[in-house]
A and B are shown apart, each in its own frame.
Chain A
Amino acid sequence: MPRDMQAEDLAQAGDEVLLARYAAGDPAAARVLTQRLVPRALGYAARLLGDGAEAEDVAQEAMLRLWRAAPGWRAGEAQVSTWLYRVVTNLCTDRMRARTRRRAAALDDAPDVPDGARGAEAGMIEADRMAALQAALDALPERQRQAVVLRHIEGLGNPEIAAVMDIGVEAVESLTARGKRALAALLAGQRGELGYEDDGD
């Protein structure tokens, strides 16, 4: 690898190459990795947590751990993105548990599960549909939510999801199938609110 990579070479380089360049002291590699990975970490965390501000904190913390892991990164051991998804998953799990503890401590103050687009009318805007999806995702068991988001929103393959969640591929298939069924059931009651009132039946 040439010592001075051009910007376009960096943009096309794999995550692992960039991480090695970062560890070797190349600030341009840090920039490309940030642009490439932060949107993914943020998007995934936002779907798991349903809270943009918390998702930002998680994304920053996950990236910080990546920077710190860079000097000791062993080539070929794990994909950088898989590693990052796993860290985000764990950080979100910690936050969800802390949230549950807080709610248990102050049950009366616990907010209702958001109902997304309640009260909206036909022709509702996209944001309402997304809010309804998020509300349904929030209602899923944690592992199902992780699997469904990784599979259907982040677009990962089952083997990579298995690596992120540290489970077998069959378990991933089971989680995504059950999660999807549960989502469909949750959303069925909101079909009208989701803008499908006049479709089909």
Chain B
Amino acid sequence: MRMTGTEAMQDRDDLDNLFAAARASRPVPSEALMARVLADALAEQPRPAVAVAPVVVVPRLVPRLGLWSRLAAVFGGPGALAGIGSAAAAGLFIGYVQPSGLSVLGDAVLGTPLETVELMPDVDGLLAGE
């Protein structure tokens, strides 16, 4: 059906009236929506630059410990290690040289010559019992 000029003009007027009414009746956002959007905004907001002391990584001033230093630490420090070393050296020396004074002292303390001291007498007993 062909519209007359008057009808077309009226349609345009109707449409303009409808548009005007639509502009006036724009949906109002709910408070819940506004709150959600604002919460998003605050969550995404870059933090303002605050004057806080920067975290400074202090370089290690103490040099990394070497093998001997760590070994000494295990045994209670360099002094203790020196003591242990001295005792070991003295033991080796006495074992090789076997000074005569030491034999006398050993006989006096043990009651028998050092060579005949039975370190495991029970084993001997068991063997003798066979």
Residue ranges of A at the interface with B (Cβ–Cβ < 8 Å): 22-27, 30-31, 33-35, 38-39, 42-43, 46-47, 52, 55-56, 59-60, 63-64, 67-68, 70-71, 126, 129-130, 133, 152-153, 155, 180, 183-184, 187-188, 191, 194, 196, 199-201
Taken together as a complex, chains A and B put the C-alpha atoms of A130 and B29 apart, in Å, by: 18
Q: Assess whether B19 is interfacial by the CB under 8 Å rule.
A: yes
A23 surroundings in chain B (CB, below 8 A)? 45-46
CB-based contact B26/A63 at 8 Å: no
Other A-B pairs beyond A24-B48, A199-B10, 16, CB < 8 Å: A22-B45, A25-B46, A25-B49, A27-B45, A31-B38, A31-B41, A39-B28, A64-B37, A70-B46, A126-B25, A153-B19, A188-B7, A188-B11, A191-B11, A196-B10, A199-B14
Interface of B is mostly: helix
Q: Assess whether B21 is interfacial by the CB under 8 Å rule.
A: yes
B41 surroundings in chain A (CB, below 8 A)? 22, 27, 30-31, 33-34, 63, 67
CB-based contact B27/A152 at 8 Å: no
Contact with A along B13-26 (1 / 0, CB 8 A): 01100110111011
What are 15 residue pairs bridging A and B, where the CB atoms are less than 8 Å apart in the complex? A23-B45, A24-B48, A25-B45, A30-B41, A34-B41, A38-B33, A39-B26, A39-B27, A42-B33, A56-B33, A64-B40, A153-B19, A184-B12, A196-B14, A199-B14
Out of A34, A64, A130, name the residue touching B25 (CB < 8 Å).
Answer: A130
CB-based contact B21/A129 at 8 Å: yes
Taken together as a complex, chains A and B put the C-alpha atoms of A45 and B45 apart, in Å, by: 25
Taken together as a complex, chains A and B put the C-alpha atoms of A130 and B27 apart, in Å, by: 11
B60 surroundings in chain A (CB, below 8 A)? none
How far in angstroms is the closest Cβ of chain A from B2? 12
Q: Assess whether B98 is interfacial by the CB under 8 Å rule.
A: no
How far in angstroms is the closest Cβ of chain B from A58? 11
Interface of A is mostly: helix
Out of A38, A67, A155, A200, name the residue touching B23 (CB < 8 Å).
Answer: A155
Taken together as a complex, chains A and B put the C-alpha atoms of A98 and B10 apart, in Å, by: 37
Contact with A along B40-55 (1 / 0, CB 8 A): 1110111111000000
How far in angstroms is the closest Cβ of chain A from B56? 25
Out of B7, B37, B38, B40, name the residue touching A201 (CB < 8 Å).
Answer: B7
